[in-house]
C-alpha cells in the first residue's frame, strides 16, 4: 500500500489540524508534521498546501519579526478553516469507522 | 534572494528554485523562499536533493500542491521565461502561416504596412522563446522593422513629413519598439 498517497490525501486536514493547535510558519509546519509521522510527504507539498489553503480563505496570516532571520509569515486557522476542519474530521471519522468495520469482518456479514 | 548563512550548494539550490518560480506572485514566492532558506540552512549539502528532490521536482510538487500550473518556466543562462502555452503556440502557428506573405510584403509598401504587424508579432514570439544571444537579434530586427514602417508611412503617405524628419521619427520608433520587445520578453534575471 502506498502510504505517501494516503497521507497526501489527508494533507489538507493534517495542516488544518496542526494549525489549530498553534500558528506556524512554513518550515515550522514542515518540521511539526514530519515529527507527527508525515515524513513520507514531500516538503514541497506541505508548502504548496499551506499556500492553497491560505488562498482559499481558510487561514489567517500575520507577519512576525524574527531574531534569527527575515520576518516570517505565521498562519493560523480562521473561522472558515475551523469549520472546514470540523467537516474533514467528520468525514475522516466516517471513513475510519467504515474501514475498521470492514477490516474487523463486521462489514462482510 | 541568497542569505549569507547558506553554503554555496544551498544558495545555488535556492536560486534555481527562485528562477523556477519566476511566474508565481511575489508574496507566495518570497514566503516560500524564506521558508526554504530556513530549511536549507539546517540541511547538510549532501542531503539537500535527498530530502527535497531536484529544484525542478521541488517546484513542480509545490505548484501542484498549491493548485498552480505545474508547467515550469524555461530557464536559459540564469534567465527565466514563462512556458510556451496554448495561446502562444497558436500565435506561433498563425504567424508562420502569415510569414510568406509578410516576407513578400517587404517588396511592396502597402503589403508591408498590412503584414508588418504580423512580422513584428513573429519577432516578439521568437525573442520570447529564444536563448539570450538570439533574442538580441530578434529585438534588433523587430526594432528595425518598426522604425522602417514608421519611416515609410511618414515619407510616402504623409507628404508634409518626409526626408530627415521622417528618418528621425523612424529611428525613434525603432528604438522604442526594440526596447518594448526587450522588456516584454525578459522575465527576470
* pLDDT 10s digits, B36-90: 999 999 999 999 999 999 999 999 999 999 998 888 877 766 666 655 556 566 6
Residues on chain B touching A27 (C-beta within 8 angstroms): 35-36, 38-39
DSSP class of B30: H
| Residue A48 to residue B61, Cβ atoms within 8 A | yes
- Domain chopping of chain B, boundaries: 8-84, 90-184
Q: Among A63-77, B46-60, B87-101, name the one with the lowest average pLDDT.
A: B87-101
pLDDT, position B103: 60
Closest CB from B28, B36, B65 relative to A45: B65
Number of inter-chain CB pairs under 8 A, A vs B: 70
Closest CB from A47, A72, A73 relative to B62: A47
How far is Cα of residue B162 from the mean position of the Cα atoms in its chain? 35
A contact test, residue of B29, B32, B35, B52 with most A CBs within 10 A: B35
Q: Among A51-55, A66-70, B103-107, name the one with the lowest average pLDDT.
A: B103-107
Which cell goes with B153?
Answer: 508611412
| Residue B64 to residue A48, Cβ atoms within 8 A | yes
Q: Is the pLDDT of residue B189 over 60?
A: no
| Residue B51 to residue A43, Cβ atoms within 8 A | yes
**How would you classify the pairing of strands A59-64 and B79-81?**
unpaired
Closest CB from B31, B57, B62 relative to A73: B31
Q: Is the pLDDT of residue A73 over 50?
A: yes
- Domain chopping of chain A, boundaries: 4-103
Which cell goes with A101?
Answer: 468495520
- Across A77-93, b (16+ Cβ under 10 Å) vs e yields bbeebeebbeebeeeee
Q: Roughly how many angstroms between the first and final C-alpha of chain A, as a whole number?
A: 25
Give the residue among A28, A34, A35 at the shortest CA–CA distance from B34.
A28
Closest CB from A11, A47, A55 relative to B35: A47
Minimal Cα distance from A63: which residue of B? Answer: B31
ipTM of predicted complex = 0.86
Minimal Cα distance from A40: which residue of B? Answer: B51
β-bridge partners, A72: A64
d(CA A90, nearest CA chain B) in Å? 23
Which cell goes with B149?
Answer: 514602417
Give the residue among B11, B62, B18 at the shortest CA–CA distance from B40.
B11
- For B112-159, the pLDDT digits (tens) are 666 777 778 888 888 877 777 778 888 888 888 888 877 777 766 666
| Residue A52 to residue B66, Cβ atoms within 8 A | yes
Q: What is the CATH number of domain A4-103?
A: 1.10.10.10
| Residue B66 to residue A43, Cβ atoms within 8 A | no
B contact test, residue of A8, A33, A42, A63 with most B CBs within 10 A: A42
| Residue B66 to residue A47, Cβ atoms within 8 A | yes
More confident residue, B106 or B8: B8
Q: Is the pLDDT of residue A74 over 50?
A: yes
Instruction: Tell me the pLDDT of chain B averaged across its residues.
Output: 78
d(CA A94, nearest CA chain B) in Å? 25
Give the residue among A29, A37, A34, A36 at the shortest CA–CA distance from A54.
A29
| Residue A26 to residue B51, Cβ atoms within 8 A | no
Query: Is the CB of residue B56 less than 8 Å away from at least one CB of chain A?
Result: no
Amino acid at each position: 500500500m502506498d502510504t505517501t498517497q494516503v497521507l497526501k490525501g489527508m494533507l489538507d486536514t493534517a495542516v488544518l489540524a496542526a494549525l489549530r493547535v498553534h500558528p506556524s510558519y512554513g518550515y515550522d509546519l514542515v518540521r511539526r508534521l514530519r515529527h507527527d509521522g508525515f515524513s513520507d510527504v514531500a516538503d514541497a507539498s506541505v508548502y504548496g498546501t499551506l499556500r492553497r489553503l491560505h488562498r482559499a480563505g481558510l487561514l489567517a496570516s500575520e507577519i512576525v519579526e524574527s531574531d534569527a532571520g527575515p520576518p516570517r509569515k505565521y498562519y493560523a486557522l480562521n473561522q472558515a478553516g475551523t469549520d472546514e476542519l470540523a467537516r474533514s474530521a467528520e468525514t475522516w471519522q466516517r471513513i475510519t469507522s467504515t474501514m475498521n468495520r470492514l477490516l474487523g469482518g463486521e462489514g462482510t456479514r | 534572494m541568497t542569505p549569507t548563512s547558506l553554503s554555496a550548494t544551498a544558495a545555488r539550490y535556492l536560486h534555481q528554485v527562485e528562477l523556477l518560480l519566476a511566474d508565481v506572485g511575489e508574496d507566495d514566492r518570497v514566503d516560500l523562499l524564506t521558508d526554504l532558506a530556513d530549511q536549507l540552512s539546517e540541511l547538510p549539502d549532501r542531503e539537500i536533493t535527498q530530502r527535497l528532490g531536484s529544484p525542478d521536482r521541488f517546484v513542480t510538487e509545490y505548484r501542484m500542491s498549491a493548485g498552480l500550473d505545474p508547467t515550469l518556466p524555461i530557464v536559459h543562462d540564469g534567465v527565466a521565461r514563462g512556458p510556451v502555452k496554448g495561446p502562444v503556440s497558436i500565435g506561433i502557428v498563425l504567424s508562420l502561416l502569415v510569414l510568406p506573405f509578410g516576407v513578400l510584403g517587404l517588396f511592396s509598401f502597402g503589403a508591408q504596412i498590412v503584414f508588418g504587424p504580423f512580422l513584428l508579432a513573429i519577432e516578439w514570439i521568437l525573442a520570447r522563446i529564444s536563448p539570450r544571444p538570439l533574442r538580441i537579434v530578434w529585438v534588433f530586427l523587430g526594432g528595425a522593422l518598426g522604425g522602417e514602417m514608421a519611416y515609410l508611412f511618414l515619407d510616402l503617405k504623409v507628404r508634409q513629413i518626409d526626408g530627415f524628419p521622417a528618418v528621425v521619427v523612424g529611428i525613434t520608433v525603432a528604438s522604442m519598439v526594440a526596447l518594448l520587445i526587450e522588456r516584454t520578453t525578459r522575465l527576470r534575471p
